[in-house]
Amino acid sequence: MTFELENMVGVYRERPHLIYNLDTQPVLGEDGGKTWRRITDRMHDPETFFFKFTCKIHSDLARIAFAHPQMSEHIADLIADVQASGHGRVETIAHSREGRPVYRIEIANAADPESKKHALIIAQQHAGEDAAGFLAEGLARFLISDKPDNRIPGGFGLDLSFM
């Protein structure tokens, strides 16, 4: 299937901004957003702001995105895992204009939650900032994990096996 997108220019800091360029590789998901693959067959004309890409779609439902999106299902799974871990709590602190919840996730040593230093991690405050969302999700999952390093009271350690 071939997609042709015209006038693919936006405005950033009051100047024209190319949305797509020669390095852009959209992603295709065909399994409800669990896995994504890069679309490498693409063409871009910076003079006319034209972007064209071709991909083979093997399912009845496919999603195409500019970058790997963090699906709402990922966030729901994270919230459930944090709540089940015994090391965190989640609360809805606001809603977006579209009615989507804004969550605060707090992770602490359940035995002594006030004994640790605090850090504020903010992610996905703007559309298209999924990389920060994945980083925050990975950090939260690491902190609620059973890795021995982050269970030593008052200690500090780093397990590089996940890198």
Residue 21 inside a domain? The answer is: yes
Give the rounded percent of residues in the chain with a pLDDT score beyond 70: 86
Q: Are residues 61 and 77 in the same domain?
A: no
Q: Are residues 59 and 81 in the same domain?
A: no
Task: Work out the pLDDT band at 162, boundaries 50, 70, 90.
Answer: very low
Q: Are residues 54 and 81 in the same domain?
A: no
Please give the Cα distance from 117 to 151 (Å, whole number).
15
Residue 161 inside a domain? The answer is: no
Q: Are residues 45 and 89 in the same domain?
A: no
Q: How many domains does the chain fold into?
A: 2
Q: Are residues 57 and 78 in the same domain?
A: no
Segment 68-125, tens digit of pLDDT: 888 888 889 999 999 999 888 899 999 989 998 999 998 887 677 676 677 788 888 7
- Over residues 136-154, the mean pLDDT reads 72
Identify residue 125 by its one-letter amino acid code: Q
Please give the Cα distance from 55 to 36 (Å, whole number).
13
Q: Are residues 81 and 139 in the same domain?
A: yes
Please check the confidence at residue 161 and state whether its pLDDT lies above 50. no
Q: Output the pLDDT for position 83.
A: 92
Residue 30, domain extent: 2-65
User: Residue 48 in contact with residue 9, Cβ under 8 Å?
Assistant: no
Residue 162 inside a domain? The answer is: no
- Over residues 35-39, the mean pLDDT reads 92
Q: Are residues 78 and 38 in the same domain?
A: no
Residue 124 inside a domain? The answer is: yes
Select from 16, 39, 65 the last residue of a domain. Answer: 65
Select from 22, 38, 65 the last residue of a domain. Answer: 65
Q: How far is CA 28 from CA 36, 45, 65, 91, 160, in A?
A: 5, 22, 7, 32, 31
Please check the confidence at residue 158 and state whether its pLDDT lies above 70. no
Residue 160 inside a domain? The answer is: no
Statement: the pTM of the whole predicted model exceeds 0.85: no
Q: Are residues 61 and 84 in the same domain?
A: no
Residue 90 inside a domain? The answer is: yes
Q: Are residues 61 and 76 in the same domain?
A: no
